[in-house]
A and B are shown apart, each in its own frame.
Chain A
């Protein structure tokens, strides 16, 4: 009696197991760092994809960006990395050099999303040494946020300045430290505010062809112009990190602030009377920094035909018109597709069209070099800190930075 039951049980289990096998799902792991207000939008899109594709299961793991990178590299090295990684463009070259990502140049012909509907800046960001390693997940440009009430209170028209002179005058006039700072300038863990100031004057850190610009005359001029204002007029506290500048603007202690689209939700919620505007035009050009998060495909997933197919379906889904409109309206980011940028839904949004316009002239910050982390933490940040803290002159600090940078990239 007992043994018969056991046989039955075994048979049932086997049948169930086999049946389960017939409906085998391709499971894809997907890591990214969208922990902010954009998180629910990412989650709902992934959920929608999983619902619409019963044969594919995306297992998503969202973690803060700083632990993301620490975990990502070692995981890839031991072969346990995610199939898809939402990767900042500046980190991509290092991972390509480490040989853990798969080139996916055929993605535009294999899926219904052709290359020319995507923002070129966002596609280029995932291109390294002529090969494509991902398609855009999100892209943004930095714009200037300004507090209209502060402008009115200081006797200024509540409009954003257009050029550096107007900008500087406004910044000085709006500064009343420590109650209020005209223009907050972060040096660490922040969007590339100082680099975009350098670009506006024709300088920079590292040129497109790898030439060192950080000790050029143009860079020094730009840095002096703003650092002098920090020293003489205290237009900004010194040594700020990105989140601190956000907090200062959010609590009405900063009048102008440069940041990406992700802050609109928080600032609106705080009840600020603000607007966003393009970065004022510099002496040489109008510049802004853009950032791209690419969906990069791991070498293992790329080598497995089953998985590769599933990954492509997901990349296609993410950059479909429908998903991109949801993404833009939900997260406040400009859509990755330029062909829907002027659709009525997008145009009706208060901020998204402005950020989309910023993307047309945005530049990447330290992209295309595998030495990103070293350049940022060992060259650029200490130089800016030492200038703003008054430990070194602009001339001396940037000359030293130039020397260190040449050593690093040679």
Chain B
């Protein structure tokens, strides 16, 4: 960042440039303050009140946080969020890496597959969720029909607490794999070819080249993909809202679903804000942890 360049700091012309820099930053900074910082501050404040849209807010201290600690449905939502993340991130990341490597070859048809795999990314999640609800439908679902052709019977997954989350995870991976694949493709193309040539001279086979050249070189890319996927997974909402509304029996109710329930179904805004605060802290901690973990030079 040029603003903080110490060499320029003492020169008046640089200071002048700084002011101009802030001027240019102002529009996005203003938007950031109004739509991000202020709502977070407001949520923090309301998590210490009993604000419910209906009644005016009174300060209640840590009462909402105590309630959170004892709330079984909240811990169920935490559990479901973790299950979802564990289900989506590793498989989604590996799959998109595999696809990227496969489609990075100079073969016929790669352009077609790249496009086909990327297509769900540009479609709206809500619409994709509606389509998959139909595909999973036990009576008219194509997914169910084709599986039955190969003698696999699946029941009504979205109505079965043991399978609903699996269905959601499948849809989410399918939806996002194209995006991560494109990031990996960009990463792959940034690896200098000379490294592979050197490895070849050293007598490495393809597997060894992948293990000792591709993977280490891709570390920043992988870090980006994993951090973004974890962030996205902790905030999953659309597909669950459309496909199951958190059911059956809360088996797909994640944290954001539960926040929504308090915010817009029962209108207990303050308690919803308390859960949101919890989510904020968890996501912040996870992100810092992951960035630290991946913040090593490429060896």
Contact = CB atoms under 8 A, between A and B. Distances in A.
A253 B139 contact: yes
Contact of A385 (B249, B264, B267): B249
Interface stretch (A69-77, A262-270, A281-289, A327-335): A69-77
Contacts of B160: 239, 389
A386 B249 CA distance: 7
A260 B156 CA distance: 26
- The size class of the interface chain A forms with chain B is 20 to 34
Given A251-B140, A253-B139, A373-B266, A239 B248 contact: yes
Contacts, number: 52
A165 interface: no
B54 interface: yes
Main secondary structure of the interface of A (DSSP, over half): helix
A98 interface: yes
- The size class of the interface chain B forms with chain A is 10 to 19
A239 B160 CA distance: 8
Given A373-B266, A377-B266, A77 B53 contact: yes
Nearest to B162: A389
Contacts of B161: 389, 391
Contact of B248 (A97, A189, A248, A385): A385
Contact of A94 (B54, B247, B249, B261): B54
A73 B138 contact: no
Nearest to A189: B245
Contacts of B267: 73, 94, 373
Main secondary structure of the interface of B (DSSP, over half): loop
Interface in B253-279: 261, 264-267
Given A237-B156, A240-B159, A373-B265, A382 B249 contact: yes
Contacts of B248: 239, 385, 389
A337 to B, nearest CB: 34
A197 B140 CA distance: 29
B20 to A, nearest CB: 38
A374 B54 CA distance: 15
Contacts of B264: 70
Contacts of A382: 249-250
A389 B138 CA distance: 16
Interface string A59-84: 00000000000100110010000000
Interface in B63-92: none
Q: Which 3 A-B pairs have the closest CB atoms?
A: A239-B159, A98-B54, A70-B264
Given A73-B53, A389-B161, 9 more contacts: A94-B54, A97-B54, A98-B53, A188-B245, A188-B247, A237-B138, A237-B156, A238-B159, A377-B261
Interface of B: 53-54, 138-140, 156, 159-161, 245, 247-250, 261, 264-267
